[in-house]
Amino acid sequence: MNQQRWPAINWMDVLWLMFLAGLAALPPVAEIHKQLTLLAIGVVQVSEGWLLARVPRRGAAYIVLIKIALATLLIDHTGEVGINSSYYPIFYVPVVTAAEYFGPWGTLLWTSLASAAYCSYLYPALQEYELTTESYPLLAIRILFFFLAAMVVNRFVVENRRQTKRYQELAETLAETNRRLEQAQAEARRSERLAALGQLSAGLAHEIRNPLGVIKGSAEMLNQKLQGSNPLASELAGYISTEVNRLSALVTRFLDFARPLHTELARLDIVPVLERALHAVAALWKGGPVTIERHYQGNLPAVPLDENLSEQAFVNIIQNAYDAMGGEGGTLQVTAASSRINGRDGVEVRLQDTGPGVPAELREQIFNPFVTTKKTGVGLGLSIVSKIIDGHHGSIRVENCGNGQGEAESGGACFVIFFPTASETDDRVDAPELVIS
């Protein structure tokens, strides 16, 4: 069992003990009760932090109450009549302590209790003596000084707390601003890379497409001229034509990635678009059985969407989820709910599969061109998806299933897509919008 360690004594506690030792050396010196009471006050002061750590909610009240009791006990053993004890300033200790831990009203309450404890010695004194006229103002002065000291200290403490809170809020705001700045810089660098790669891909694709057309046309003409006279040559010509078609499809993907994106936005319900993408992928899937779990929030707000492009983005991500689950199949959770990100209201779509997930080292690069976890493919699909989401003024990120912080608990990847509502984008959402990549 781990034992609670007592805090180390700092130099302020040492000063406390020195001052209390000085009081112990002053008259009355032979009064053992006085010495024990001062020792108890020193112990309480030194162990104050420990008590607050053990009892955080009520510890401050216990400390002030104990100090009031010890102060009351001390003046009872330092004078023939407690109310006349020269040690009455000891009540400043609980009063100032209360001012440190409580607000203005709490400070007034504890100061009133300390004053009442001090004034309680009036009753036994009046049993033997008669209170003179000059004594009333003197007693009032002492009590008022208790309150003055308490409020001065409390005002300082409250202001210090207010300044500390302001600094904390400023630090949090600065940290959030830095985080957004880093994110914006990362997105800007990614956009620059995409733009450069897009221009390069467009040039290469056009240069490659022309020779491919010549090769495919030549293979088809050769196949027609042979007319079955040479089966081997006809078979080879067929291979050429098939591979040319595959290369042509690859070139088309490069062109899709490279060309400027035109988004024709209209306010739409996102659920039907999701459903069409789910049915399109499921109709062509030939792997293991996949169960779709739908979690759609009711009365979702309409968002500005390019129906075809957004469906293409969903199809790409859903197809990746199916491919990740493979022949064993699995479960795909589809969630659509209202959300608020970076001060913008919108709809958040989460597509979560039970596949192997995305490796941590690829999570920040998965939307870059030519980055893929598949054994086949060129890694342009998610780049095009990211480009489409950017055209909708939205955002996309990937995280592993589990706690949402990037640590997988049950495996699988979760793509989180955010579409801002119409009020957060251009009011002219029905007009075509051009996004230059």
How far is Cα 105 from Cα 99, in angstroms, rounded to an integer? 10
Q: In Å, how far are 211, 221, 222, 239 from 243, measured between CA atoms?
A: 13, 16, 16, 6
Mapped onto helix, strand or coil, the DSSP state of residue 400 is strand
Instruction: Please give the angle made by the CA atoms of 262, 268 and 269, to the nearest 5 degrees.
Output: 135
How far is Cα 177 from Cα 311, in angstroms, rounded to an integer? 33
The residue ranges of DSSP E strands in 311-420, in sequence order, are: 330-341, 344-352, 395-402, 408-420
Contact (CB, 8 A) for 250 and 377: no
Other Cβ atoms within 10 Å of 295 Cβ, number: 11
How far is Cα 324 from Cα 354, in angstroms, rounded to an integer? 8
- pTM summary value: 0.48
Nearest of 198, 200, 190, 191 to residue 256 by alpha carbon:
198
Nearest of 69, 76, 94 to residue 33 by alpha carbon:
76
Other Cβ atoms within 10 Å of 360 Cβ, number: 11
Nearest of 85, 173, 174, 83 to residue 131 by alpha carbon:
83
Q: What is the pLDDT along the chain (437 residues), one digit of tens a residue?
A: 445 555 556 778 888 888 888 888 888 888 898 899 999 998 998 888 888 888 888 889 999 999 999 999 999 888 777 788 889 999 999 999 999 999 999 999 999 999 999 988 888 878 777 777 788 888 899 999 999 999 999 999 999 999 999 999 999 989 888 888 887 787 777 667 666 666 666 666 666 767 777 777 777 777 777 666 777 777 777 778 777 777 777 677 666 655 556 778 889 899 999 999 999 998 888 888 999 999 999 888 999 998 888 888 899 899 988 988 888 888 999 999 998 887 788 999 999 998 888 877 776 677 766 666 665 555 667 877 888 888 888 888 887 665 444 443 456 888 999 999 864 445 444 444 434 33
